Amino acid sequence: MYPEGVNASARGLSHKILAIAESATLKVDAKAKALKAQGRPVISFAAGEPDFPTPAHVVDAALEAVKNPANHRYTPAAGLAPLKQAIADKTARDSGWAIDPSQVVVTNGGKQAVYQAFQALLNEGDEVIVPTPFWTTYPEVISLAGGVPVEIFAGADQDYKVTVEQLEAARTPHTKVLLFVSPSNPTGAVFDAEETRAIGQWALDNDIWVIADEIYQNLVYDMGVDHALSIAEAVPGLKDKCILVNGVAKTYAMTGWRLGWMVGPADAIKAAANLQSHLSSNVSNISQLAALAALEGDQSAATQMRNAFDTRRHSIVEGLNAIDGVFCPTPQGAFYVYPDVRGLLGKTWAGRAATTSLELADIILDECEVAAVPGEAFGPSGYLRFSYALGDDDLAEGIARLQAFFAS
State the sign of the Cα–Cα–Cα–Cα dihedral 116, 121, 124, 125: negative
The span of 22-30, 81-89, 159-167, 176-184 binding ligand GLU (CB under 6 A) equals 22-30
We find the least distance from the C-beta atom of residue 231 to ligand GLU, in angstroms, to be: 20
We find the least distance from the C-beta atom of residue 63 to ligand GLU, in angstroms, to be: 26
In the bound state with ligand GLU, the residue whose beta carbon lies nearer, of 232 and 372, is 372
In the bound state with ligand GLU, the residue whose beta carbon lies nearer, of 131 and 200, is 131
> 328-338: buried (b, 16+ CB within 10 Å) or exposed (e) per residue?
bbebbbbbbbb
Reported residue count of the chain is 408
We find the least distance from the C-beta atom of residue 261 to ligand GLU, in angstroms, to be: 16
Does 185 interact with ligand GLU (rule: CB under 6 A)? yes
Does 26 interact with ligand GLU (rule: CB under 6 A)? yes
We find the least distance from the C-beta atom of residue 49 to ligand GLU, in angstroms, to be: 6
Does 25 interact with ligand GLU (rule: CB under 6 A)? yes
We find the least distance from the C-beta atom of residue 136 to ligand GLU, in angstroms, to be: 6
What radius of gyration, in Å, describes the C-alpha atoms of the chain? 21
Does 85 interact with ligand GLU (rule: CB under 6 A)? no
Decide if 172 contacts 144 (C-beta within 8 A). Answer: no
We find the least distance from the C-beta atom of residue 248 to ligand GLU, in angstroms, to be: 13
**163 phi and psi, to 5 degrees?**
-110, 165
117-156 positions binding ligand GLU, by CB under 6 A:
135, 137
Interhelix angle 109-121/266-279, rounded to 10 degrees, is 120
We find the least distance from the C-beta atom of residue 306 to ligand GLU, in angstroms, to be: 17
275-314 positions binding ligand GLU, by CB under 6 A:
none
The span of 23-31, 191-199, 228-236, 286-294 binding ligand GLU (CB under 6 A) equals 23-31
Q: Which amino acid is at 146?
A: G
Cα–Cα distance for residue pair 47/297, rounded to 1 Å:
27
Decide if 38 contacts 379 (C-beta within 8 A). Answer: no
Binding mask 88-107 vs ligand GLU (x if CB under 6 A, - otherwise)?
--------------------
In the bound state with ligand GLU, the residue whose beta carbon lies nearer, of 29 and 126, is 29
Long-range CB contacts (within 8 A, 24+) of 8-12: none
We find the least distance from the C-beta atom of residue 183 to ligand GLU, in angstroms, to be: 12
**264 phi and psi, to 5 degrees?**
175, -170
We find the least distance from the C-beta atom of residue 291 to ligand GLU, in angstroms, to be: 17
The span of 19-27, 92-100, 157-165, 318-326 binding ligand GLU (CB under 6 A) equals 19-27
217-256 positions binding ligand GLU, by CB under 6 A:
none
We find the least distance from the C-beta atom of residue 387 to ligand GLU, in angstroms, to be: 6
Q: Which amino acid is at 12?
A: G
In the bound state with ligand GLU, the residue whose beta carbon lies nearer, of 47 and 148, is 47
Cα–Cα distance for residue pair 303/282, rounded to 1 Å:
30
Does 28 interact with ligand GLU (rule: CB under 6 A)? no
DSSP SS3 for 283: coil
> 156-186: buried (b, 16+ CB within 10 Å) or exposed (e) per residue?
beebbbbbeebbeebbeeebbbbbbbbbbbb
In the bound state with ligand GLU, the residue whose beta carbon lies nearer, of 26 and 275, is 26
CB atoms within 10 A of CB 238: 22
In 154-198 the beta strands, taken as DSSP E runs, fall at 175-181
DSSP SS3 for 128: strand
In the bound state with ligand GLU, the residue whose beta carbon lies nearer, of 184 and 196, is 184
In the bound state with ligand GLU, the residue whose beta carbon lies nearer, of 185 and 282, is 185
Please give the residue whose beta carbon sits closest to ligand GLU in the complex: 48
CA distances from 118 to 111, 113, 146 (A): 11, 9, 9
- Going across the sheet that includes 242-247, the strands are 104-107, 260-263, 242-247, 209-213, 175-181, 127-132, 148-153
Compute how many residues bind ligand GLU; rule: CB under 6 A: 9
In the bound state with ligand GLU, the residue whose beta carbon lies nearer, of 80 and 294, is 294
Interacting residues with ligand GLU (CB under 6 A): 23, 25-26, 47-48, 111, 135, 137, 185
